[in-house]
Amino acid sequence: MKRRVVKHAEASYGFDAAQRTRVQREGAEETPSRWWWKRCLLALVVVLILVPFSLSVFQGLIQHFVYTYRMRVPFFVDLSQPADFSLNHTINMYFTSEEGISLGVWHTVPESQWKEAQGKDLAWYQNTLSNGKPVFIYLHGNTGNRAATHRVGVVKVLSALGYHVLVPDYRGFGDSSGEPTEAGLTTDALYVYNWVKTHCGDSLVVFWGHSLGTGVSTNLAVKLLEQDVVLDGVILEGTFNSAARKMTEHCFTWYYWKFPGTGYFFPEPWAENEVVFPSEENLKKMKSPILFLHSEDDHLVPIRIVEKMYEVAMRYQNAERVKMVSFDGSLGYLHNGLYRDPHLPDILQKFVLSLQRGKGD
Ligand SMILES: *[C@@H]1O[C@H](CO)[C@@H](O)[C@H](O)[C@H]1NC(C)=O
């Protein structure tokens, strides 16, 4: 069916507005105004009745879309065997972050220790955590589990630099039990942090949040500030702001562009489901050094959102502690791939050095 876009004066249809753009079928028999009204009504039915109806009925489904945690990507993997993912200096363990909640966690030691690590048990790994090397806690995004390629990729980069890495699967993800909620995810991250702090001595502890994990990271940073704890450093990769305001700006388009596949960052319907992740508000309170990492071709979070958050962070705290590195769109990293960048180790090392200097080491 051939369609053409027609711009016409609304006056001929009895509207006050001067101009409107619409799509019209060639050779339609109906008069243009009847055609317009029918579609208008249909759109209203869909938007005003069906959408809120389905949103309220399928709250569980929404939660599912937000976290897509049930997607066990990669499929058919044994998370208790990190060596299957060529992480031969990694141990799998389980934390109880809250009564009845078991979290699957990997601890990878610095790559230089891979030989020494062969056949070692939990106690060895736990002792090694206090060897003075920086410890990273990686909070992953919203699909799949800790074995996803890009997550393993980040772990390898950090481990090669001589750092420890802990990668938990939040409640409901991977082989962890429970159902995800925003508060629950933050509790899980807090538990991992406290566990690390009790076992790592004076080592630097840095959070690396990716995507959804950036929301968890900033929530956690603010929560710890309430206990007068300032995180040593936070890396926010592929971060998003709370999209609640976006929705009023875009009103009717939010439903489409927020949907999984095109973008999945939590406008108001999800806020009813207690999913907010107010990262921008959190940034105004945070006191930790922050490094934003972002690909300019990120298809889920446009770079301008991160630029804005970077400015917010700069304005609200010591601007020297806030850094942003963006990767050229031509590199094709999209939302997940910047771990592949050959400059990344150097960037991370410089960030860690600045944190160590800040800490007075
Ligand atoms: C173990 O992992 C290290 C670091 O990734 C690698 O260099 C080494 O070749 C691996 N060893 C084996 C036996 O797979």
Residue 18 in this model has a pLDDT that exceeds 70: no
237 phi and psi, to 5 degrees?
Answer: -105, 130
Nearest CA to ligand 1 atom 3: 114
Mean pLDDT for 88-94 is 98
Dihedral, CA atoms, 143, 146, 150, 151, nearest 10 degrees? Answer: 120
Out of 35-49, 100-114, 310-324, pick the least confident: 35-49
State the number of CA atoms in the 13 A half-sphere of 354 facing the CB: 16
Enzyme catalytic residues? 211, 298, 335
**Which band of pLDDT confidence, cut at 50, 70 and 90, is reported for residue 138?**
very high
H or E segment to which residue 135 belongs: strand 135-139
Residue 28 in this model has a pLDDT that exceeds 90: no
pLDDT of residue 67: 62
pLDDT of residue 72: 55
pLDDT of residue 251: 38
Mean pLDDT for 226-247 is 82
With contact defined as beta carbons under 8 Å apart, do 162 and 111 qualify?
yes
Among 63-77, 155-169, 252-266, the range of highest mean pLDDT: 155-169
- How close is the Cα of 124 to the center of ligand 1, in Å? 19
88 lines ligand 1 (CB under 6 A): yes
111 lines ligand 1 (CB under 6 A): yes
Mean pLDDT for 289-315 is 92
- How close is the Cα of 337 to the center of ligand 1, in Å? 22
Nearest CA to ligand 1 atom 2: 88
Q: Which amino acid is at 161?
A: L
Separation of alpha carbons 211 and 225, rounded Å: 22
Separation of alpha carbons 42 and 24, rounded Å: 16
Nearest CA to ligand 1 atom 1: 88
Q: Which CATH class is domain 70-359?
A: alpha beta
Q: What is the pTM of this model?
A: 0.77
Using most ligand atoms within 8 A of CB, pick from 86, 112, 158 the residue to mutate for ligand 1: 86
Residue 240 in this model has a pLDDT that exceeds 60: yes
Residue 20 in this model has a pLDDT that exceeds 50: no
Residue 360 in this model has a pLDDT that exceeds 90: no
Q: Which amino acid is at 302?
A: P
- How close is the Cα of 86 to the center of ligand 1, in Å? 7
For residue 311, what are the β-bridge partners?
A: none
pLDDT by residue (tens digit) across 149-182?
999 999 999 999 999 999 999 998 999 999 888 8
Residue 30 in this model has a pLDDT that exceeds 70: no
Residue listed under structure tokens 């994990």: 213
pLDDT by residue (tens digit) across 186-215?
999 999 999 999 999 999 999 999 999 999
Out of 47-56, 119-128, 278-287, 318-327, pick the least confident: 47-56
